[in-house]
Structure 1
Amino acid sequence: MTGNRIARFAAGTVVLAMLATACASERGGSVDVSAGTNGTTAPASGDAAASGGEETFGTLKSPCGKGDAKGATEQGVTDTQITIGFGDDRGFPAAPGLSKEMGDAISTMIKWCNGQGGINGRQIKGNQYDAAYMQAATVMQKACKQDFMLVGQGFAMDEAAEQFRVGCKLPTVAGFTVGPNAAMGPMKYEAVPYPVDQYNSSALRLAAKLFPEFGKKVDLIVSTSPAVKTGSNKIAAAMKKIGITPMNCGVMLNNDGDASYVPFAEKFKSCGVEALWTSKTPDPASFSLLEALDRVGSKPTLVFEATWYSTAVSKWNTQGVGDKIHVGTIFQPFENADKVPAVKKYLDLVNAEHGKVALLGMQATSGFLLWAQAAQACGSELTRQCVINKLSQVHEWTGGGLHAPTDPGANMPSSCSLMLKLTGPKFAQFYPENIGEYDCNKENILKTDPATWGTKLNEDRVATTFLTPDVIKPTV
């Protein structure tokens, strides 16, 4: 979803442990389961449609359908079947159901695709894995022995599994990545990339454009959490690159909680803060600070990470204390489903299977569609090399309209965002005014400091930590 990750690794594992109640907005073993241009707004479309049946997913023609593909071309591929791996951390005891929406989305998409005839007539078999947070390496070793590719998965501890994935030359179209080596690994593509060396500053620029106070009197809500510190440092660096200097009022929340948040609120008020940004997730401490700000009569404009697009936030804001909360995101919100066919399609399909609905589920869905389109284009000659070749050529992707344009082939983030606003318990698109559009500018993509990457990259922007000479590389 959003976030830049250890830095990336340390930050991501802590933050992802909170996905079940924060980032995973619920608005709303082995199993067989049948870019916009500079200064403009871009609609949620733009995918290169693959040939297939008459079924569509938003603006994308379905890559699934009948066919006569033949041949046992690769591990996990036979005349009649393609075996892929997918999964999440749903069995993590500390956060039951962690990222469950991702596995639910992929199992739903497998059923949807098989119902149309599979990929060129080959049915898809899904091996569903539960990494339970700490078992990612074990899961990866299983996948190495039986899967053609990994598709749409999200494992918080993917860094621990990366050496095994690279070692067995298992390609992936990941739902998300966390560790720096996983994010920049070989044979890895994502529908929504978050590379360690590039940052999409569109939400920051949009906030400065919409709210003058954000560009002049803004500060960050930070805490003693290593994850929040890392994220805040990256945001502060990005702000400075676009001409915004945080006020540095000296407020530091205790990650373990504080007896009272009024002193922090008073400090922000006396400092003259008129806008706030945070990389913190919406937790009781965050809510207490916002309530304290209201109590002392300070009402700054709030522009927060996409984790704040959450059911927990909606339920909390019954008194309107959070009515100045704005959220930057590259995803179309569920509230736009009546105007954005891809979002409605996702909701209809997953709800029909009684699955968990959340933004990470849409992200996994986009990953499945990206993989399926590439696999379909390979026809009978379905090999890992062919799929990687096809994926490397995809440079504008929206998942049929689920999110803003990204560049999976080059592992580059979107240069777009839209802004949501919370009013009472309801979120709604605030800007751009036209539903389904984004504010985009190529200048939004900023290079990050190599000291923050957490890994060394080669000339192809690929992590070298586990790199071997025989990894599968694009040949086109």
Structure 2
Amino acid sequence: MRTKKTLAALLAVSLLAAGCGRSGSGDEETPDGGTPAAAADFGDLKGLCQPGDAKSKSAQGVGAEIQLGVFTDIGFTKKTEFVDAAEVFAKWCNEAGGINGRKLAPKTRDSKFMEVRQRMLESCREDFFIVGGGSALDAMGVKDRLNCLLPAFPAQASQMQNTGSDLQIETVAGGSSYSPYAGYYTWIIKEGYPGSAGSVGVISGDTPVTKVLEGQTKEMLTAAGAKISYSELYPTQGVSDWTPYAQAIKSKGVKGLVFLGDFASLAKLEQVLTNIDYKLDWIDANSNSYGPAFLQLAGPAVAAQNNLADLGGVFPLENAAQNPATQQVLDLFKKYAPDKQVTLQVVRAFVAWTLFAKSAASCGDDLTRKCVYEAALKETAWSGGGLQAPIDLSQLDAPQKCFNVEKATPEGWKPADFKPDTGAYRCDAPAYKFTADYGKPLTLADIGKSLSDFK
């Protein structure tokens, strides 16, 4: 599922954590009151956070501190990625002086899966911006967000009403009208495993969110040349015995399988497939599985099956030593949150946080929502300092150009042989625009407002 995109499958995801805690004052000193802070670089972003004397109350949530809402379903998922990313980034940035002297104060907005609107109304009353988080049922809050003219740089967006909505810049590649998996599935069907094209299956969790992703997946696979020979839903409460699913996959001769759900369920399915001696050409485990937890749960099935995941142009964590920005995230976690794990969601959150920091810094003392938002729209090759393949943020609804594929092995996740042509990425993905109606993002016009109302 890939964030918006990937984590949209409710079970696997529900969107992970969100930042919390208010730290720092308006002073330009190190925490021990010693020498003045020095500007800090992140990846190839020079002086991203820096000291200064900006303290004016130029907007709601702005003063000596900048209060920023970080949405999360942590109360439901118990996953802390967005919280961890917000805390680590804020601590690092604030030690360097903050944003022109203002300290970042991330505020957790725990939507607990079903309380998105309640948290959004609170954010509307208190926060300057929404940064670096997300909620699985984010469509529940988008109307209120637009009504209070609250802009957002989320780590991920899930539902169609929110994905690509106004006053929101998504740092995950791919616009709402286009398939984010065009390059990935085209490579699988036409190059990687062309023998699987005649029999591809899709299993997804039985939820409204996942059903949209299921429809989009089937449309993209068909456009790439695949024939969907098997399609099944599984209940959100889980499956006690995956044997009937595995036997159906085997009886239909499914050669490639897309699994849109939680990786714990996928691990159980793969164990059964392995036990009945059936190996597919490939399984799209989706990027929720990218990490050690899936490998541990799947056990011997990792070697028996061929699990793939599209990271959507995010540099792979296992090769962090080859990429300064990715290594810097690991180093910052080691310093500020040594007991926490760096995940794909953490990296995506950092891409959003770095965008906010750079855009806000450019506004100086006159820090307004409009200034930050418009500054971000000028970024035509945004990579979060090198954390991902560059994307053009000035084009809010554009196809994704770059992708990268990971393969699960008993030794860990590793880049697959997908023939990258631009460093760690392959940047020749075809543009595929959806033809079916999956819903549309909400606009200011939908609620009777316009950009002229935005300050």
TM-score, normalised relative to structure 2: 0.84
Does the CA contact (< 8 Å) of 1:327 and 1:419 recur in 2?
yes
Does the CA contact (< 8 Å) of 2:3 and 2:156 recur in 1?
no
Residues 286-345 of structure 1 deviation map (CA, whole Å, 9 limit, x = unaligned) = 333322322333211223111221333210233245541121212222211111222221
Please, which runs of 5 or more residues in structure 2 have no aligned partner? Answer: 25-36
| Alpha-carbon distance change, 471 to 184 in structure 1, aligned in 2, over 3 angstroms | farther
| Alpha-carbon distance change, 450 to 129 in structure 1, aligned in 2, over 3 angstroms | same
Aligned partners of 1:55 and 1:428: how far apart in 2?
Answer: 31
Query: Is 1:303 matched up with 2:303?
Result: no
Aligned partners of 1:126 and 1:174: how far apart in 2?
Answer: 13
SS at match of 1:191: coil
**TM-aligned CA deviation for residue 126 of structure 1:** 2.8
The answer to which structure, 1 or 2, has the higher relative contact order (CA under 8 A, 6+ apart) is 1
- Pick from 13, 16, 21: which aligns with 1:31? 21
Q: Could you tell me which residue of structure 2 aligns to residue 287 of structure 1? A: 267
Q: Could you tell me which residue of structure 2 aligns to residue 437 of structure 1? A: 424
Residues 107-151 of structure 1 deviation map (CA, whole Å, 9 limit, x = unaligned) = 211111111111122222333332322332222222222322121
Does the CA contact (< 8 Å) of 2:146 and 2:166 recur in 1?
yes
- Pick from 61, 85, 88: which aligns with 1:76? 61
Q: Could you tell me which residue of structure 1 aligns to residue 27 of structure 2? A: none
Residues 407-439 of structure 1 deviation map (CA, whole Å, 9 limit, x = unaligned) = 333224532211111122511112357795111
Identity, in percent, stands at 26
- Bigger drift between 341-350 and 408-417 goes to 408-417
Does the CA contact (< 8 Å) of 1:378 and 1:386 recur in 2?
yes
Does the CA contact (< 8 Å) of 1:322 and 1:423 recur in 2?
no
| Alpha-carbon distance change, 339 to 280 in structure 1, aligned in 2, over 3 angstroms | same
Q: Could you tell me which residue of structure 1 aligns to residue 432 of structure 2? A: 446
What is the correspondence of 1:103-142 to structure 2 with a 5 Å cutoff? Answer: 103-142=83-122
| Alpha-carbon distance change, 413 to 380 in structure 1, aligned in 2, over 3 angstroms | farther
SS at match of 1:202: helix
SS at match of 1:16: coil
Query: Is 1:420 matched up with 2:406?
Result: yes
Query: Is 1:392 matched up with 2:377?
Result: yes
Query: Is 1:274 matched up with 2:274?
Result: no
Does the CA contact (< 8 Å) of 1:87 and 1:128 recur in 2?
yes
Paired residue type of 1:370: L
Aligned partners of 1:256 and 1:31: how far apart in 2?
Answer: 33
Query: Is 1:232 matched up with 2:214?
Result: yes
Does the CA contact (< 8 Å) of 2:407 and 2:414 recur in 1?
yes
**TM-aligned CA deviation for residue 365 of structure 1:** 1.0
Aligned partners of 1:456 and 1:162: how far apart in 2?
Answer: 9
Does the CA contact (< 8 Å) of 2:292 and 2:412 recur in 1?
no
**TM-aligned CA deviation for residue 3 of structure 1:** 5.4
- Pick from 164, 176, 193: which aligns with 1:196? 176
Does the CA contact (< 8 Å) of 2:131 and 2:152 recur in 1?
yes
Does the CA contact (< 8 Å) of 2:444 and 2:451 recur in 1?
no
| Alpha-carbon distance change, 245 to 405 in structure 1, aligned in 2, over 3 angstroms | farther
Aligned partners of 2:277 and 2:115: how far apart in 1?
Answer: 48
Does the CA contact (< 8 Å) of 1:332 and 1:436 recur in 2?
no
SS at match of 2:22: coil
- Pick from 308, 332, 340: which aligns with 1:349? 332
Aligned partners of 2:363 and 2:15: how far apart in 1?
Answer: 39
- Pick from 123, 148, 154: which aligns with 2:134? 154
Aligned partners of 1:225 and 1:348: how far apart in 2?
Answer: 38
Residues 432-462 of structure 1 deviation map (CA, whole Å, 9 limit, x = unaligned) = 577951111252x321135112x366xxxx4
SS at match of 2:49: coil
**TM-aligned CA deviation for residue 382 of structure 1:** 1.9
Does the CA contact (< 8 Å) of 2:306 and 2:407 recur in 1?
yes
**TM-aligned CA deviation for residue 13 of structure 1:** 4.6
| Alpha-carbon distance change, 332 to 456 in structure 1, aligned in 2, over 3 angstroms | closer
Q: Could you tell me which residue of structure 2 aligns to residue 43 of structure 1? A: none
| Alpha-carbon distance change, 91 to 224 in structure 1, aligned in 2, over 3 angstroms | closer
Paired residue type of 1:392: L
- Pick from 4, 14, 24: which aligns with 1:17? 14
Aligned partners of 2:83 and 2:259: how far apart in 1?
Answer: 29
What is the correspondence of 1:247-262 to structure 2 with a 5 Å cutoff? Answer: 248-249=229-230, 253=234, 260-262=241-243
Aligned partners of 2:205 and 2:60: how far apart in 1?
Answer: 47
**TM-aligned CA deviation for residue 350 of structure 1:** 2.2
Q: Could you tell me which residue of structure 2 aligns to residue 210 of structure 1? A: 192
Paired residue type of 2:435: D
Q: Could you tell me which residue of structure 2 aligns to residue 187 of structure 1? A: 167
**TM-aligned CA deviation for residue 77 of structure 1:** 2.6
| Alpha-carbon distance change, 146 to 293 in structure 1, aligned in 2, over 3 angstroms | closer
**TM-aligned CA deviation for residue 14 of structure 1:** 4.9
SS at match of 1:188: coil
SS at match of 2:68: strand
Paired residue type of 1:159: A
**TM-aligned CA deviation for residue 237 of structure 1:** 0.3
**TM-aligned CA deviation for residue 347 of structure 1:** 1.7
| Alpha-carbon distance change, 173 to 250 in structure 1, aligned in 2, over 3 angstroms | closer
Does the CA contact (< 8 Å) of 2:201 and 2:258 recur in 1?
yes
Paired residue type of 2:290: Y
Q: Could you tell me which residue of structure 2 aligns to residue 38 of structure 1? A: none
SS at match of 1:127: strand
Aligned partners of 2:183 and 2:167: how far apart in 1?
Answer: 28
| Alpha-carbon distance change, 33 to 288 in structure 1, aligned in 2, over 3 angstroms | same
Does the CA contact (< 8 Å) of 2:11 and 2:262 recur in 1?
no
Aligned partners of 1:230 and 1:275: how far apart in 2?
Answer: 20
Paired residue type of 1:138: Q
SS at match of 1:438: coil
Paired residue type of 2:51: K
Q: Could you tell me which residue of structure 2 aligns to residue 243 of structure 1? A: 225
Does the CA contact (< 8 Å) of 2:317 and 2:326 recur in 1?
yes
Aligned partners of 1:139 and 1:53: how far apart in 2?
Answer: 35
SS at match of 1:298: coil
Does the CA contact (< 8 Å) of 1:151 and 1:174 recur in 2?
yes
Paired residue type of 2:215: N
SS at match of 1:395: coil
| Alpha-carbon distance change, 32 to 104 in structure 1, aligned in 2, over 3 angstroms | same
- Pick from 388, 393, 401: which aligns with 2:386? 401
Aligned partners of 1:3 and 1:87: how far apart in 2?
Answer: 14
Q: Could you tell me which residue of structure 1 aligns to residue 32 of structure 2? A: none
Aligned partners of 2:414 and 2:334: how far apart in 1?
Answer: 22
